[in-house]
Structure 1
Amino acid sequence: MLAEDISGSTNSAPSVTQMRTASVDVDSLIVGRAIKSPLHDQHGVLLLSEGAIITEVFKQKLRDRDIKTIEVHTEDANIISTTHVVQNLTRAQGHSSHHEGIDSQLQKTIDDGLQFVTNEGPASRDSVRWHGKVGYEQSTREVIDTKGKEQCEVLDQLMHSSLSAESIDGFQLSRTVSASLSSLRDDFDCVNASALHLSEDASLARHCYRMSVLSMSIGIEMGLNEENVCRIGVAGLLHDWGMLKVPEHIRNPQRPLTYSEKLECQKHVMYSVDLLQKVQGLPTLVALVSYQVHEQMNGTGYPRGRRGSNIHLFARILNLAHHYVEMTTKLPYQDAIAPYDAMLKLFAGAKQGLFDPSVLRAMLRAQSLFPVGSLVMLSTGRMARVLRANGDHYTEPVVQVIQDEQGQTLLPDSEKSVIINMSEDNCYVTRALPILHGPEPIPAPHFLKNPNSLKKLQKQEA
């Protein structure tokens, strides 16, 4: 037995479930360090007695039995695991005092009841113009593209000035958000398509702008009023400003970050809250939301590992938007993934408990499974661009054909560049394509295909 081989004892733990434990990788165990509490396996069988020393022989015994992680007392984890030691050292060097100060600031926000969303008055969604099966006006798209780039430039200037200025004009940010909301009301899908095409630039300003637009879209679909949608938009623009205080080689890496560099990067949350104190006219709620953007529903996020409803709704919205924007942005060492593939990863994350399902459903309504602005191949052999989401018809968006069956590119005003509402048509999506960058085309899963069309396809293949 394992216990006999390793410790020579088969005594079981008297109350393993009552211990505060932490999961530790076997490879991270530090040889030569002693444990303060007995160490048992998942069945309660004693592996090492109190005061025993971690040895290389002990680690090898665990590996031989394909044991990759063990549960140890929390105090022991901070002594015998390199991972936990590094994490605690990092916190000791700058997180602790920061956390205490920030927690005391934000606790008042929670005590004042701002952790809960008050959503009185008409829903912002009621004032949005829904265009149905109609294309974008070229002039409108050009105006929206220009506005988006201008707003990113203003945001970039405000971000960098926050490092030295004593105060920042928060009303300028509010005006930016109000302009975005006005554009969303006028043509919801066109604004989202325009924001998606900023994905080739990984700059911090564009990241925050895309998050702001996408999060506002989700908030609109969730039935939030104008004031709440604007609060989400402002938090989206501000939440990552602290990244400017993170070392350049970590903020804009040319390679994947190491574990210690990721911990350094996580400090940006505290830096952001500090910088937000300089922004004049900022709703108190924005600091709390910004602090919680990287928390996950299952408690695996940071900085506090909060769970479920202990995370503000607006932070849950921004967290989902953050993952989508990050996955669909090209980095120096990593291509962006196709928007459709990013949506599938969000589904997988929701199944793991990372995301709020109600937020994901709202994003589906706002974007569809094939996000607005992305490219798809149709069962007819034509290529199309997703023009508009289609409500609850997540897999059947409104698309505009941009290439015919022979591969000839069609101009938007061409007679063959038809607009198709796929919920009313007999064709279906066979492949999701990258936009400006990304991986090879991704086959659409069979569940997306219209049952009747799928039968026809199967007959043809037979």
Structure 2
Amino acid sequence: MERYDVSIDHLRLGTISDADITHSVHGTLLPSGGLLTRAFLQRLRARGISQVSVDATHLGCLTDEGVRLLKQRRDGTQKNRDPGHDSLASFFSDDSPLFARRTNRAGEAYSEERAQRFRQSLENAIGIFEVLGAEVQEVPSSMMAEMCGLPARLAEMLLEDADQSLSVLECDATATPLSNRCSQMSLLAMSTGMELGLSDSELASLGQAGLLHDLGLFLLPPKFRNPTTAYNASDLGIYQSHPYLTLRLLEGVHRISELVRVLILQVHENADGSGFPRNFKSHRLHPLTRILQVVEVYLSLVNPGQGRPALLPHDALTFLLFQCQKGNFSPQVLRAFINQITLFPIGSHVLLNDGQQATVVRRNADQYDQPFVIFNNDARGQPQALAGTELRIVSPLVRDQHSQMRLEKEILASLTLDSLI
């Protein structure tokens, strides 16, 4: 197959490559199905790579001019086709509920091949969101279709290996905190919904709402896109208007259901009426909103963006449990959320009662306080069940003193949502 060398400056961000992008020395740089993201180009430049090799048949799709021609052709021949809706409808069908199709991998070691694919899928989601945000004033229909179809791809990860899917939820340092959080929120909301046994249509709505709920922030100055920026009174009013801006952007998008629009408008509401934009209390909120609320607050605590240290995931869950006792979260939703990520969330470094250190890698059915772990001194990396042994987790461990902090239990009762996020 004939190939051409192309300057990386001519590659089109947001394009999914239908063939491997390679280099004569470094081999395959981006496998088929990968998304051309800003992070990918930055990695190439860091390695001193200025040109890549592209399959001749896909050259036009990967460059600016080729993409423009392709979009014109698609817009002219597929006006009545909705690929984003088609992919969702075929995947979220309710014929065989997703929660019943999850693969049980209890005690199984992680697969490096799965890890690479999962990271690529998450990076694609983040990259598409970044490109969509950059073109938010005039979003191409093909790009919106890609965005609306992303929840199906993320849900595929959960079906294949839910635990390993959650393990790759690390922030892409080259992407905005907003893009990271929205992609993570979509995945975690669907995972929680599966745990609750929701229908496929409800899971699709959760995935889309989680992904799109903050899209309106791209219409505001960049300072409003950091989830933890401290605002003055004037800026706060502007920030709290963004759910309406998101709905305005989605007005002409027929593949976004009325339920998704309702959820987008309610994500930032609080049970006590202190949220925004309409100060609704819990009795006026859609049941699915309660899932998004838990996920949104958790992510704000463990990935707060610049300027604030992150809480350890275990401490963030402890805070959510205290708030649940005050009536701020649904007990059923919080139980499902903890069941899927465990009380010491997947990826946590922990100290055991015998002095060993370990990493949490898998849940253990409903025994959320006795997950599968890998001992730090185990060269084989084989998950070990704590259930049925004398071993217990004593405490989580701080990995980075500069970016993570413990939450003192003595002050938990006095903390509020506003004081932490």
TM-score of the two chains, using structure 1 as the length reference:
0.63
Equivalent position to 2:242, from 254, 262, 268: 268
* Alignment counterpart, residue 438 of structure 1, candidates 380, 403, 408: 403
Kindly state the Cα deviation for residue 154 of structure 1 after the two structures are TM-superposed.
Answer: 1.1
Shift of 1:125: 1.1
Aligned residues: 317
Which residue of the partner structure matches residue 422 of structure 1? 386
Question: What is the CA-CA distance between 1:433 and the residue it aligns to?
Answer: 2.3
Query: Equivalent pairs: percent with the same residue?
Result: 25
Q: Which residue of 2 aligns with 1:174?
A: 148
The Cα shift of 1:188 comes to: 0.5
1:128 Cα shift?
0.2
Structure 1, unaligned stretches of length 5 or more?
A: 1-118, 405-409, 446-462
Whether 1:379 and 2:343 are equivalent positions in the alignment is: no
CA distance in 2, matches of 1:215, 1:166: 27
Give the drift of 1:137. Answer: 0.7
Q: Does the Cα contact within 8 Å between 2:270 and 2:281 map onto a contact in 1?
A: yes
- Residue 225 (structure 2) aligns with: 251
What is the distance in 1 between the residues matched to 2:304 and 2:268? 20
Alpha-carbon distance between aligned partners in 2 of 1:317 and 1:231, rounded to the nearest angstrom: 12
Q: Which moved more, 1:206-215 or 1:254-263?
A: 254-263
Task: Give 2:100's aligned residue.
Answer: 126
CA distance in 2: counterparts of 1:298 and 1:253, whole angstroms: 21
Contact 1:170 1:282 survives alignment (8 Å): no
Deviation at 1:254, TM superposition (A): 8.7
What is the aligned partner in structure 2 of residue 158 from structure 1?
A: 132
Residues 346 and 442 (structure 1 numbering): CA distance in 2 closer, same or farther, change over 3 Å? Answer: closer
2:340 partner letter: A
Contact 2:171/2:180 (8 A) holds in 1? no
Distance 1:253 1:226, change over 3 A: closer
CA contact (8 A) 2:132 2:139 kept: no
- Please show how residues 61-140 of structure 1 align to structure 2 within 5 Å: 122-140=96-114
Amino acid at match of 1:342: A
Report SS of the residue matched to 1:279.
coil
> Hey, what does 1:238 align to over in structure 2?
212
Q: In the TM superposition, what is the alpha-carbon distance from 1:160 to its structure 2 partner?
A: 2.5
Provide the secondary structure at the position in 1 that maps to 2:271: coil
**Counterpart position of 2:328:** 354
Structure-2 residue corresponding to 1:312: 286
**CA deviation after TM superposition for structure 1 residue 255, in Å:** 5.7
1:189 corresponds in structure 2 to 163
Structure 2 distance, partners of 1:123, 1:358, is 20
The aligned counterpart of 1:449 is none
Structure 1 position 256, deviation (Å): 2.7
Cα deviation, 1:301-323, whole Å, max 9, x if unaligned, reads 21122222421122211111110
Whether the 8 Å contact between 1:386 and 1:398 is mirrored in structure 2 is yes
Contact 1:200 1:330 in 2 (8 A): no
Amino acid at match of 1:431: S
- TM-score by length of structure 2 reads 0.69
CA distance in structure 1 between the partners assigned to 2:348 and 2:409 by the alignment: 14
Q: Is the 8 A contact 2:177 2:225 kept in 1?
A: no
> 2:177 — aligned with what?
203
How far did residue 169 of structure 1 move? 4.6
The answer as to whether partners of 2:310 and 2:405 remain within 8 angstroms in 1 is: no
Cα distance 1:127–1:184, how it changes in 2: closer, same or farther (>3 A)? same
Shift, 1:260, TM fit? 3.4
The 1:439–1:375 alpha-carbon spacing in structure 2 relative to 1, beyond 3 Å, is: same
AA partner of residue 439 (structure 1): Q
2:316 to 325, 329, 342: 342
Say whether the 8 Å CA contact 1:155–1:205 is kept in structure 2: yes
Contact 2:216–2:246 at 8 Å: present in 1 too? Answer: yes
What SS does the aligned partner of 1:394 have?
Answer: coil
Tell me, yes or no, if structure 1 residue 290 matches structure 2 residue 267.
no
Alpha carbons 1:218, 1:359 under 8 Å: kept: yes
Distance 1:381 1:302, change over 3 A: same
The 10-residue stretch of structure 1 (278-287 or 337-346) with the greater mean CA deviation from structure 2: 278-287
Deviation at 1:336, TM superposition (A): 1.2
Quick check: 1:196–1:373 contact (8 Å CA) kept in 2?
no
The one-letter code sitting in structure 2 at the alignment partner of 1:348 is: F
Q: Who is 1:213 aligned against?
A: 187
Worse-matched range after superposition: 432-441 or 301-310: 432-441
- Check the 8 A contact 1:429/1:444 in 2, yes or no: no
Separation (CA, whole Å) in 1 of partners of 2:358 and 2:173? 19
Q: What letter corresponds to residue 270 of structure 1 in structure 2?
A: Y
- 428-437 or 236-245: bigger deviation: 428-437
- Aligned residue type for 2:219: K
What's the offset of the Cα at 1:425? 1.9
In the alignment, is the contact (CA less than 8 A) between 1:238 and 1:276 conserved in 2?
no
